Chain A
Amino acid sequence: MAVMTYREALRAAMREELRRDENVVLMGEEVAQFNGAYKVTEGLLKEFGPKRVVDTPISEAGFIGLGIGASMLGIRPVMELMFWSFSYVAFDQIVNNAGNIRYMSGGLINCPIVIRGPANGGTNVGATHSHTPEAILASHPGIKVVCPATPYDAKGLMKAAIRDNDPVYVMENTILYNDKGEVPEDDYVVPLGVADVKRQGEDLTIVAHGRAVITSLKAAEILEAEHGVSVEVVDLRSIRPLDEETVLASVRKTHRVLLVEENKPFCGVDAQIAYLIQSRAFDELDAPIHRVSSVDAPQIYCKRLEDQQIPNPARVVAEALKVLA
């Protein structure tokens, strides 16, 4: 195993898939000559040339739609959005075209496209650049959504996404790009729809995805060190498909649940998880389910307050103690 950053892990996944399949094409704004706005695609133009790594104009509806059209003919485009926030100008393509075409054609067509890029707040850039649209997108049947939290998962999920024959939207996180972790150098995939218990525990289950997993792991350490509480952290990894069984197994073990996500509370991913738990494990619960989401307002610019708006370890610890009370 090598130690690499989340950014390098994503790049390794794309490099390996570019080598493996000549129909894989990377596309997006600044992905080629500029080496990527966040340097995720650094060096790939040099290695694979301009047919495989393509700079696009600032034209999300145009180039994402183009990628979807090309995918219907067997190209496997991996499209970078500089931020998932910018997907909103391409929403019709992303939802109506990629998400519906298989159904509307009675199963005659499929769109093996990957759309990837960062989807996170916490970077002091204001409301337009801080959206987390995983819940919005995953609410559309036809679409798959994954949110890797670690370098290992970033590489494995990205490779699974590129090989998948349906549209898969990979939501990364700029704050995680420099995180380091152990990543196998050989070929592996993290299958879609498989959650991962990132920390074992007995007293409380925290369910999270994306960077909220990292936040929750930090909170779990504090809870153990300062409050003697044993916390299990379940990382969903994949939002749709959703690994319901791993969540339920953990609930049956600890009987107490805290849901943590960086979305705003209204109709977030956690609303679905809370529904799942009450419908299938109601009798297992010793306390009501609590949650920690981003404070329900457009993302604030002021860094000091934004750090409190999104879930942080202190907020998670405080809420966990309420569930345990």
Chain B
Amino acid sequence: MAKPAVLTHPESLKRPAGPSEYAKDPVNAKMTKAEKVELYTKMARIRHFEQRCIRVYQQGKIGGFLHLYVGQEAVAAGTISLLGKHDHVITGYRDHGHALMVGMGMNECMAELTGKVTGCSKGKGGSMHYFAPDKNFWGGHGIVGGQAPLGTGLAYAVKYLGRKGSCLCYMGDGAVNQGAVHEAYNLAALWDLPVIFVIENNGYSMGTSQERSTAHPGCLAKRAEGYGMAWDVVNGHDVYEVRARTAVALKRAHEESKPTVLEIFTYRYYGHSMADPDKTYRDKEEIKEYREQKDPVLLFEKELIAEKTLTPEKAKAINEAAMEEADAAAKFADESPDPTLADVTKDIYWEEDNRGPDTSSRGTIIFE
């Protein structure tokens, strides 16, 4: 299958993967060894959580759609590892990586997948709809591109409230053709909002390559120019590079209250969702090439071993611990109860869930 001509391409991706050119970038150089190991651990946890999900799905315990993040770990890890108290995150349905990065637990995430009441949304959201507002994580959105205006609104609120923060609003390469995304771009640029639109370009929207979906393909980030917005392209296989280039956008958001479009090149190893047999639209060879040469977790592992931040033994132990944690999460999900029939009609209206002396509204709000 012909690959799209990529016209705006990160320089580092044009060369074979090797030691990161961004290791010495200030945001990476200032990291302690412990912080680096922690970042690696988080990437490994995403990987093993996702791979454990495959088994739970195959056991028939996860319904609906399951979109895996395997291969894309450095994007969520690199970007979210930079965030502070007033920085917010919102994404599409491929949301497990972001959720784990903001600090959601494997237990609540796994239990949500199996529809249990102990899930992060009490079994009411599912894989595509994780939320953790206490961690500045605003979902988990199932409609392609629908989160772009919301993310812009979070940035608007940050600015309105006078906080020095931002919103990282993630989407896929297929989302850039949605009207809502362009409307969000326009508002963000028009009103100088501290939002960073992160396009996770994994080459495909379901089974459709960019060439078949996008006029003037290979220029997704550059569309920002039409709105006078800053943009950048990033090699998403190198977590150091993701951090270094995201830091520039974050500074623009924090210091100048200006938006950025960041196109981060990445790749997904599995089908679009578990429902995708992944046989018709790309070569197995292509997947193999990415897995062997550009795997973000392995590249970072190599990097850290070369730096002497990590030893192979320590890496092995980290991966084993992540697998055990994912196993325990699967067990937790298994043992958790379903929501009850009475739960179905709760969490619909704030005013109903919080009825008190101040509640003025009356009448029937849930119908039989």
Give residues in A with beta carbon < 8 Å to B. 23, 25, 51, 56-57, 59, 61-75, 92-93, 96-97, 101-110, 112, 141-142, 144, 160, 164-166, 189, 191-195, 238, 240-245, 272
Q: Does B149 have its Cβ within 8 Å of any Cβ on chain A?
A: yes
Q: Is the CB of B350 within 8 A of A165?
A: yes
Interface residues of B, count at CB 8 A: 57
Kindly name the residue among B140, B158, B362 whose own CB sees the greatest number of chain A CB atoms within 10 A: B362
Partner of B183, one of A59, A103, A238: A59
Q: Considering the chains assembled together, what is the distance between the CA atoms of A195 and B363 in angstroms?
A: 9
Instruction: Evaluate whether A103 and B348 lie within 8 angstroms (CB atoms) in the complex, with A141-B366, A193-B361, A240-B365 already known.
Output: yes
Q: Is the CB of A105 within 8 A of B133?
A: yes
Chain A residues near B183 (CB-CB < 8 A): 59, 61-63, 65
Q: Is the CB of B154 within 8 A of A105?
A: no
Q: Is the CB of B124 within 8 A of A72?
A: no
Spot the interface stretch: B18-26, B45-53, B114-122.
B114-122
Chain B residues near A238 (CB-CB < 8 A): 363
Q: Is the CB of B146 within 8 A of A93?
A: yes
Q: Considering the chains assembled together, what is the distance between the CA atoms of A237 and B249 in angstroms?
A: 48
Q: Is the CB of B149 within 8 A of A105?
A: no
Chain B residues near A189 (CB-CB < 8 A): 360
**Smallest Cβ-Cβ distance to A63: which chain B residue:** B187
Q: Considering the chains assembled together, what is the distance between the CA atoms of A145 and B157 in angstroms?
A: 25
Chain B residues 150 to 183 lying within 8 A of chain A, measured CB to CB, are: 150-158, 160-161, 179-180, 183
Q: Offer 11 A-B interface pairs, CB within 8 angstroms, sorted by A.
A: A23-B160, A57-B187, A62-B186, A65-B184, A68-B149, A70-B156, A73-B161, A101-B131, A106-B121, A108-B131, A243-B363
Q: Considering the chains assembled together, what is the distance between the CA atoms of A102 and B121 in angstroms?
A: 9
Q: Does B333 have its Cβ within 8 Å of any Cβ on chain A?
A: no
Shortest beta-carbon distance from A27 to chain B in Å: 10
Q: Is the CB of B363 within 8 A of A144?
A: no
Chain B residues near A59 (CB-CB < 8 A): 183, 186-187
Q: Is the CB of A93 within 8 A of B180?
A: yes
Q: Does B335 have its Cβ within 8 Å of any Cβ on chain A?
A: no
Shortest beta-carbon distance from A22 to chain B in Å: 10
Q: Does B225 have its Cβ within 8 Å of any Cβ on chain A?
A: no
